Structure 1
Amino acid sequence: MVVQQHRRRCGAFAVAAAVLGVVATSGCSGGGGAVADDRPGSGQAGETRAGEAGAGQARGGEARGSEARADKVRKAADALAEARSSKARTSMETATGGTRVTIRGEGGYDFVRRMGQLTVVLPKGPAGAAEHRPVTELLAPGALYMKNRGAGVPVDKWVRIDTTTLEDGNLVTGGATDPLAAAELLRSARDVTYVGEEKLAGTKVWHYRGITDIAQAARVAEPHARAALAAAAKGFAMDTVPFDAYLDDEGRLRKVRHRFSFTNETGTVAVTSTTLLYDFGTPVAVRLPDQRDIYAGKIRA
């Protein structure tokens, strides 16, 4: 299979749905900057020793509060497993040089079997017409299956990609982040701040913001997610990724947004991946294709 790839010091990197033949941007990940938190300052000059001690206690309390918030976010993947399944919507937006491209997906995910199905809608052409048929994607541990891939693939055949060989671990390559991988990525959340209580599609959620570390997430994730995240840790130039996570009162992840970015000779490329989960408990049937239905020929570049 031919996948458009791009090099920097971290090696080959399949960028932002290049595997779908949609976006081909030269460069490699530069990660994301740390998100500022709400820790109090160290105080002004001239404070008394008692004041300094009080400020130290406040900082200690805030540190403990930040760790408690981070712990809630880190357990989001466990809460999804308890929920068993849900419907899902995804959005992946790339922005570079004033050009913005959005790829959207919709489907469902079985968090017990760790499998999902999405119908991914690719961007329209310059004339406003759809240039690609919607792509059906099946998500499974270590694998991504695509139908209606185009580029010479027969319409009745599937393309299978080993996500552990992708240098972003399929966090962005497929045009949608695997919902469970998005949650597993939060297992290394840190510097977490509480933004506030909000309403999301009529459901009360708690909004948290922070950063996560891909390499650390790969070490502490469930076994099914480790290989793909480890690949991503090697492919991105920086491990830290800013996120916004929205949890309901049962600790389930209702919405998560990760912001990836990288630089190349033309400037900075931003990739924002958003996953929305709803209708928990809805049965999700995913059947992987038989070997005879997987395309083994060459895909046009």
Structure 2
Amino acid sequence: MAGRELRRGRAGGAVVALGAVGCLLLGGLAGCGGRSGAATGDSSGGSAAVAVVREAADALVEAGSSKARTSMEMATGGTRVTIRGEGVYDYRKRLGRLKVLLPQDPSGTSVRRPITELLAPGALFMKNRGAGVPADKWVRVDTRTLSDGNLVTGGVTDPFAAAELLRGTRSATFVGRMELAGAEVRHYRGTADLREAARVASEANKGPLGAAATGFATAEVPFDVYLDGEGRIRKVRHRFSFMNGEREEPVAVASTTLLYDFGAPADVRLPEPADIYAGRIAEE
């Protein structure tokens, strides 16, 4: 099973994360100059478009915070499942809080209550984890142990990691202008390299992006990104691929992040040590 392939060779924290979200997903599968360019430029491609896309993460830091919606689709062997999230993110503190809705099981019934996830540099915290974890306790995962850099494991892609992945943009083309959720945006399509992204990312994301560069089937990540007049990401869609150890067919992952309501309060408080579960996690 693809979820189990992702778990091999990792610390116990990785097993926890994939049991909570990844395995449930797969269970049925067996610098202002660049930002100014985003506002006024219309280059069809080349270095101008690459520069604009690479600076999108800086524009988010300037914005401070936003609300976010996420969607992650996994497909292999003609079967597709989707997991969704919604919450807030602080781009300066690198902290986020998302409520993650797990996919329905094959009978159409809900798998379990939504999982609350807290995103922090080097860590993922989950509540309503299930599998023997008390409802009032958090599970902590050291994301530095995850070979996908936590781009897939949590069922969501950390919004700032999604933006910093674009720092590794190798090629980009300006597709056109459109309106998205009431905002005028410019659509760019291109390919980013995880290795390059890891090299130039912030300290918090160097390790995770570097791990993903070796953990995925390829370090090349196709993307579509929609930037507003301030160069901020309004929507970004990445397409990842990793190999399923029990089948030759790779698992295709499409991760979409929508950002809106910039400047919205994002008061994210991490759990106290006493609130973190230290017991054994049951296999699922």
TM range (shorter): 0.7 to 0.9
CA displacement, residues 102-151 of structure 1 (integer Å, 9 cap, x when unaligned): 00000000111110000000011222221211000000011100000111
Partner of 1:23: 25
Q: 2:83–2:155: 8 Å Cα contact kept in structure 1?
A: yes
CA distance in 2: counterparts of 1:23 and 1:141, whole angstroms: 24
Look up the match of 2:269.
287
State the match for 1:169 in structure 2.
149
Question: Per the alignment, in what secondary structure is the counterpart of residue 196 of structure 2?
Answer: helix
Could you tell me which residue of structure 2 aligns to residue 271 of structure 1?
Answer: 253
**Shift in alpha-carbon separation, 1:7–1:224, aligned structure 2, 3 A:** closer
TM-score by length of 2: 0.86
- SS at structure 1 position matched to 2:93: coil
Within 2, Cα distance between the matches of 1:135 and 1:204?
A: 33
State how far apart, in whole Å, the 2-side matches of 1:298 and 1:234 are: 29
For 1:257, which of 237, 242, 247 is the aligned residue? Answer: 237
- Contact 1:17 1:174 survives alignment (8 Å): yes
Q: Matches of residues 1-301 of structure 1 in structure 2 within 5 Å?
A: 5-6=4-5, 18-20=19-21, 21-24=23-26, 65-264=45-244, 265-301=247-283
Change in CA separation of 1:17 and 1:207 when aligned onto 2, cut-off 3 Å? farther
Which deviates further from its counterpart, 227-236 or 184-193? 227-236
One-letter code aligned to 2:258: L
Letter in 2 for 1:230: G
Alignment partners' CA distance in 2, 1:11 and 1:297: 21
SS in 1 for 2:88: strand
Check conservation: 1:18, 1:24, Cα contact below 8 A: no
Paired residues of 1:17 and 1:172 also in contact (CA < 8 A)? no
Q: 1:24 Cα shift?
A: 3.9
Shift of residue 202, structure 1, vs aligned partner: 1.1
Q: Distance in 1 between matches of 2:148 and 2:25?
A: 15
Gaps of 5+ in 1: 28-61
Shift of residue 190, structure 1, vs aligned partner = 1.7
Pick the structure with greater CA Rg.
1
**Cα distance in 2 for residues equivalent to 1:19 and 1:289:** 18
Any idea what SS the aligned residue of 1:132 has? coil
Q: CA deviation at 1:237?
A: 3.1
Q: State the AA in 2 paired with 1:298.
A: R
In 1, are the aligned partners of 2:25 and 2:103 still within 8 Å (CA)? no
State whether residues 149 and 212 of structure 2, in contact with CA within 8 Å, keep that contact through their aligned partners in structure 1: yes
In structure 2, do the counterparts of structure 1 residues 161 and 11 end up closer, same or farther at CA, with 3 Å as the change threshold?
closer
Contact 1:138–1:144 (CA under 8 A) maintained in structure 2: yes
Q: State how far apart, in whole Å, the 2-side matches of 1:246 and 1:7 are.
A: 30
Question: C-alpha separation between the residues in 1 aligned to 2:251 and 2:214?
Answer: 19
Q: CA deviation at 1:98?
A: 1.5
Aligned residue for 2:113, secondary structure, equals coil
Deviations, residues 47-102 of structure 1 (Å, cap 9, x unaligned): xxxxxxxxxxxxxxx89x51110110000110000000000000000011111100
Q: CA deviation at 1:225?
A: 1.1
User: 1:12 Cα shift?
Assistant: 6.0
Pair 1:76–1:193, CA change in 2 (3 A): same
State the superposition RMSD in angstroms: 2.5
Task: Name the SS for the 1:22 alignment partner.
Answer: helix
The offset of 1:7, in angstroms, is 6.5
Alignment check: 8 A CA contact 2:99 2:117 kept? yes
* C-alpha spacing 1:237/1:125, structure 2 compared with 1 (3 Å): closer
C-alpha separation in 1, matches of 2:215 and 2:28: 14
Conserved in 2, the CA contact under 8 Å of 1:86 and 1:280? Answer: yes
Provide the secondary structure at the position in 2 that maps to 1:259. strand
Asked whether the equivalents of residues 123 and 141 of structure 2 are also in contact (C-alpha less than 8 Å), the reply is yes
SS state at 1:183 partner: helix
Partners of 1:227 and 1:276 lie apart in 2 by 24
